[in-house]
Structure 1
Amino acid sequence: MKFKLNLLRVAALGLAAASLGAGAQTVRIANQGDALSMDPHSLNESLQLSVTSNVYEPLVGRAKDLSVTPALATSWKQTSPTVWRFELRKGVQFHDGTPFTADDVLFSLARTQVDGSDMKSYTNDVKDVRKINDHTVEIETTAPFPILPDVLTQVFIMSKKWAETNQATRPVDRRKGIENAASFRANGTGPFRLRERQPNVRTTFVRNGTYWDKIEGNVQEVIFTPIGSDATRVAALLSGEVDVMEPVPVQDIERINASAGAQALVAPELRTIFLGMDQRRDELLYSSVKGKNPFKDKRVRQAFYQAIDIEGIKRTVMRGASAPTALMIGPGINGFDPAQNKRLPFDPEASKKLLAEAGYPQGFEVTMNCPNDRYVNDARICQTVAANLARVGVKINLAAETKGTYFPKILRRDTSFYLLGWTPSTYDAHNAMNALMACPNDKGAGQFNLGAYCNPKFDELTRAVQSEGDKAKRQAMIKEAFDLHTADVGHLPLHQQSLAWGVSKKVKVVQRGDNYLDFKWITVGR
């Protein structure tokens, strides 16, 4: 009943929007979870970045085909191997009317590097940001960084004046549950403004009438509603109560396509789903093993890997809508080599043997952390992995929870064994190498390497990949690095999931491979 009442309020807002003028349109979007904050630097999670990217903008944007395109910067060039110069767009205003200048760029890049920021891995190699004039900045990196423009597509620019006025000069720390004005309010330069924010209930956006660029779609208002229940979300689409929803449960794709008013848009996603293990602590936080850490032993990591029936997960959990992988990146990411994408065989007997050799002939007990509202069938994947491991003697205590509590917990590294998904936002292997697999440091490298896998040779190759301009040499380095990680069984890659959006036949959207939904490209009623 609560959901129905909310939808009545949504419908009322839609009527209000329709009265704005001829051609005014409202689109209602539902997702299984909510964006956890309006602060664009507080959580490096794709749903949050997808939502806030409609309000905030980077220097360099992405076109419909994911190629880089000018955004708040009109052009950029390297003036030396370690220096990039960006010419900023003139005449741009933040939503409160404040002019956009170089000062906002310096402020925003510095803000991504302070404690509490979840975006450090994007700017950890930025040595200095200099203001040349009000509409020109130079970014100096610690080493040559040919893909810096690609990296900056995820670094959104905030108003220095607004952040200072609202005591939001530092991003909120999701690990500590701290909030500030930027958590609930927003002041960007993007095509949509935040009108109302009710966390976990409803967030409303309205078209920015002073936007610097032409807005292709005709939407005037967007109402974003989290609906955790798969069945309720599908019913809302089929009844016309929502216009766009995701993810579509794989078992409901055919049902939606058979309906009169909706369709399922299904396409490959660039995200890789994987499992990580605490390899740093001398004793795991949540395990029956005392006095040592079994995940420090490669034989144990390999035993877990070979106990997982990935084809069974594809068949029974994902209904075929996944591509099993042996790598931490998938097709579509620069550096992916299909010749390397060969998983170790599913072999429970080999797993038992490896566990016995490592000193755990009877297995052991460990807690596994998992979200239940972030990835496609995430909780069911974890349940199936737990059942697979039980067959080789490992008892999994599954802790599945909403991402609102899950992410703060694992980002504190308060975990022994966890599931995570990652889309390299630069569409380049270096992003995954630097953020997921490099040894963690206080500069942002390995920021999402939550189990602290560490191989100094891998780090050396990561730094070399960042700086290398020769494509063939760079690809050889990426291959060598991934071979090292595979040999170490540094993580347990599972699969690339498929995108599945449910969309009303009255609505046209652009489905990007990174699962971002751009409001500016949505058209209703044509």
Structure 2
Amino acid sequence: MFRLPVLRRFRIGAVVAAIAVALPLAACSTGGGSSDSGSSSEATDTLNLAIPPSALTLDPAQMQPTNSRYIWGSIYESLAYWDPQTGAVTPWAAKGWAYSPDGKTLTIQLRDGLTFSDGSAVLASDVAATINRSVNTSGYIQSVDTAVASAEASDDKTVLVHFKYYDPKWVSLMGREVGVIAKASNLNSPDIATNPIGSGPYTLDTQASVPGTKYVLRKRKDYWDAESFPFSTINVNIVNDPTAQLNAFKAGQANATIVTSQQVSGAKAVEGATVTQVDATTVYWLLFLDKYGKSSNPEFKDVRVRQAVNYALDRDGIANKLLQGHATPTDQVFFPSRDVFDKDLEQKYPYDPAKAKELLAQAGYPNGFTIEIPSSQATQQFEPTLSQELGAVGITLKWVPIPESQTASIILTGQYQLYLKQSGIVSDPYTAALYFTPDGGTVNPEKYTDPTITSIYDKITTTVDPKQSIEVYKELNNYAVDQALAAPVTMTAALWATSQGVTFVDRAGLPSDIRQFGVAGK
């Protein structure tokens, strides 16, 4: 029996190569890979991806927003998608949805023609069963489904999702792993994690696939909108090393891959190749893990210490020199392609080591302090620079190597009080909930909040109209920057190399996935 392994978590040494594939799905509308991102008379109907590894399971309750989405996002249908042109959450398997006035019930209407890979119809009861199982099963999805009480089908096409309280981020998650649709009768199958009955545009060819190395996806001819997916076959090749990824691209073994800033010229040297840069798809930021001051290193409880860290960072130098201009310095964690981003906050913490030293002295640390911080392949490029800049103001960083398999869970242990984290672009409600509420999971493992945050978020969760809530989110962003609840470093760009005949479209700064690839001229 074919078994999908649990691949090693995302590992890659170069920062720019680490950005797009570890994040949630960005789907597309019909013809998502449009011809204006490249053109060629040599069209292909096979997409050969070369990507780094990540944890992989096809169990809908255990899915994670990593580059494994190339596989499970093809096998499972999603209720919605994120439009790569605008970033808007757009109906897909769901033809529409609406909240009740109090935001505690979401009514979802399914479109006609949805079927599973075994030919049976997708029903609202399947959607409800998938949601309920994820809510009641330990895993990543459960950690972001905390507001969901239950889901039910009122008829074959209508799903009612009941919430304990209004959760403004949930609709955006319908375009990610939360919105996948599995067959109710298949949810308890022993093969659910390896070879499930899917609802999406592709099926996994278990005979042609090699676990941990290559996954072959075959297009379903009976899929309701097959025209939106031009590739009859998608080969997802798992490649550990970025140099090997580029070599596969040069050799024609891959017609799409992520490249680093140092690899751009090499990729462009391939005849007919195009390198597309998508700005600000990932934020790198120093996460303060003990703002309550409960640990043996309680320094970050003091706002002046957190502000000192922000003043100590030469963000322009990191973006323009270390990352060779393929990044944008930032003082906030909200993304510039979204509504809450405030350009007036971008000069809140100019590079000022003298100011940083002054604040540390005021906080009672005139001689600074030493702090341990986890080291992994994703942080190594930053480590010398961060050590130098923070060390110059008196904060000595002691980098402690950790196994790559622990990079996602290590911050939950309470062992470390500082962590360099990489987070992909998401919706504003999702960013706000994860960074600044007790429901943040690994983004806010200490469940930090304070009276001001609670008051602001009470406004958010009682404002069901998204447009009316934008100003409240901006209030939260302003407060978070003023209180230095985090120390953002830079927003990095995604660099995608595609061969002649393959197009790539992303204007909204979304994480990449198969729905953003297309065939030139189609």
TM-score, scaled to structure 1:
0.80
**Counterpart residue type for residue 495 of structure 1:** T
User: What is the aligned counterpart of 2:127 among 79, 90, 105?
Assistant: 105
- In the alignment, is residue 435 of structure 1 matched against residue 440 of structure 2? no
| Deviating more after overlay: 234-243 vs 453-462 | 453-462
Once the two structures are superposed, the pairs formed by residues 347-496 of structure 1 within 5 Å of their partners are: 347-373=352-378, 378-399=379-400, 403-411=404-412, 415-425=416-426, 427=427, 429-438=428-437, 440=438, 444-446=439-441, 448-469=443-464, 473-496=468-491
Counterpart in the other structure of 1:191? 201
Counterpart in the other structure of 2:219? 207
Counterpart in the other structure of 2:29? none
- Taking the aligned partners of 1:257 and 1:281, their CA distance within structure 2 comes to 49
Task: Give the superposition deviation at 1:306.
Answer: 1.8
Counterpart in the other structure of 1:20? none
- Taking the aligned partners of 2:467 and 2:302, their CA distance within structure 1 comes to 34
- Taking the aligned partners of 1:198 and 1:393, their CA distance within structure 2 comes to 51
Counterpart in the other structure of 2:283? 272
Q: Deviations over 1:452-487 (max 9, x none)?
A: 432232133224224325667523312221122112
Question: Structure 2: 5+ residue runs without aligned partners?
Answer: 1-42
Counterpart in the other structure of 1:67? 88
Instruction: Say whether the 8 Å CA contact 2:95–2:110 is kept in structure 1.
Output: yes
Counterpart in the other structure of 2:26? none
Task: Give the superposition deviation at 1:417.
Answer: 1.6
- Taking the aligned partners of 1:447 and 1:357, their CA distance within structure 2 comes to 31
Instruction: Say whether the 8 Å CA contact 1:333–1:424 is kept in structure 2.
Output: no
Aligned residues: 473
Give SS of 2:334's match. Answer: coil
Once the two structures are superposed, the pairs formed by residues 59-138 of structure 1 within 5 Å of their partners are: 59-65=79-85, 66-78=87-99, 80-82=101-103, 83-120=105-142, 122-138=144-160
Give SS of 1:380's match. Answer: coil
Counterpart in the other structure of 1:160? 184
- Taking the aligned partners of 2:425 and 2:455, their CA distance within structure 1 comes to 20
Counterpart in the other structure of 2:7? none
**Counterpart residue type for residue 274 of structure 1:** W
Instruction: Say whether the 8 Å CA contact 1:40–1:49 is kept in structure 2.
Output: no
- Taking the aligned partners of 1:434 and 1:385, their CA distance within structure 2 comes to 28
**How has the CA–CA distance of structure 1 residues 87 and 273 changed in structure 2, closer, same or farther, with 3 Å as cutoff?**
same
Task: Give the superposition deviation at 1:521.
Answer: 4.6
- Taking the aligned partners of 1:348 and 1:162, their CA distance within structure 2 comes to 59
- Taking the aligned partners of 2:169 and 2:51, their CA distance within structure 1 comes to 32
Once the two structures are superposed, the pairs formed by residues 235-274 of structure 1 within 5 Å of their partners are: 235-246=247-258, 248-274=259-285
Instruction: Say whether the 8 Å CA contact 2:255–2:498 is kept in structure 1.
Output: yes
**How has the CA–CA distance of structure 1 residues 272 and 312 changed in structure 2, closer, same or farther, with 3 Å as cutoff?**
same
**How has the CA–CA distance of structure 1 residues 150 and 245 changed in structure 2, closer, same or farther, with 3 Å as cutoff?**
same
**Counterpart residue type for residue 398 of structure 1:** W
User: What is the aligned counterpart of 2:243 among 216, 231, 244?
Assistant: 231
Q: Deviations over 1:487-506 (max 9, x none)?
A: 22111111221110111123
**How has the CA–CA distance of structure 1 residues 485 and 62 changed in structure 2, closer, same or farther, with 3 Å as cutoff?**
closer
- Taking the aligned partners of 1:216 and 1:389, their CA distance within structure 2 comes to 49
Give SS of 2:421's match. Answer: strand
Give SS of 1:225's match. Answer: strand
Question: Structure 1: 5+ residue runs without aligned partners?
Answer: 1-22, 167-180, 285-290
Instruction: Say whether the 8 Å CA contact 2:283–2:488 is kept in structure 1.
Output: yes
Counterpart in the other structure of 2:511? 515
Task: Give the superposition deviation at 1:88.
Answer: 1.8
- In the alignment, is residue 345 of structure 1 matched against residue 350 of structure 2? yes
- Taking the aligned partners of 1:463 and 1:422, their CA distance within structure 2 comes to 25
- Taking the aligned partners of 1:108 and 1:370, their CA distance within structure 2 comes to 37
The higher-RCO structure (CA 8 Å, 6+ apart) is 2
Give SS of 2:449's match. Answer: coil
Q: Deviations over 1:37-66 (max 9, x none)?
A: 334443543423454222222222233423
Percent of residue pairs identical: 22
Instruction: Say whether the 8 Å CA contact 1:389–1:396 is kept in structure 2.
Output: yes
**Counterpart residue type for residue 80 of structure 2:** V
- Taking the aligned partners of 1:55 and 1:299, their CA distance within structure 2 comes to 49
**Counterpart residue type for residue 289 of structure 2:** D
Counterpart in the other structure of 1:42? 62
Give SS of 1:74's match. Answer: strand
- Taking the aligned partners of 2:459 and 2:380, their CA distance within structure 1 comes to 38
- Taking the aligned partners of 2:233 and 2:106, their CA distance within structure 1 comes to 37
**How has the CA–CA distance of structure 1 residues 229 and 94 changed in structure 2, closer, same or farther, with 3 Å as cutoff?**
same
- Taking the aligned partners of 1:97 and 1:369, their CA distance within structure 2 comes to 48
Instruction: Say whether the 8 Å CA contact 1:146–1:469 is kept in structure 2.
Output: yes
User: What is the aligned counterpart of 1:150 among 162, 172, 177?
Assistant: 172
Task: Give the superposition deviation at 1:431.
Answer: 1.2
- Taking the aligned partners of 2:146 and 2:343, their CA distance within structure 1 comes to 30
Instruction: Say whether the 8 Å CA contact 1:204–1:223 is kept in structure 2.
Output: yes
- In the alignment, is residue 501 of structure 1 matched against residue 500 of structure 2? no
- Taking the aligned partners of 2:157 and 2:203, their CA distance within structure 1 comes to 24
**Counterpart residue type for residue 185 of structure 2:** K
- Taking the aligned partners of 1:32 and 1:92, their CA distance within structure 2 comes to 32
Counterpart in the other structure of 1:12? none
Q: CA RMSD in A?
A: 3.0
Instruction: Say whether the 8 Å CA contact 1:302–1:489 is kept in structure 2.
Output: yes
Instruction: Say whether the 8 Å CA contact 2:291–2:302 is kept in structure 1.
Output: no
- Taking the aligned partners of 2:317 and 2:366, their CA distance within structure 1 comes to 25
- Taking the aligned partners of 1:368 and 1:111, their CA distance within structure 2 comes to 36
**How has the CA–CA distance of structure 1 residues 292 and 521 changed in structure 2, closer, same or farther, with 3 Å as cutoff?**
closer
Give SS of 1:482's match. Answer: helix
Counterpart in the other structure of 2:329? 324
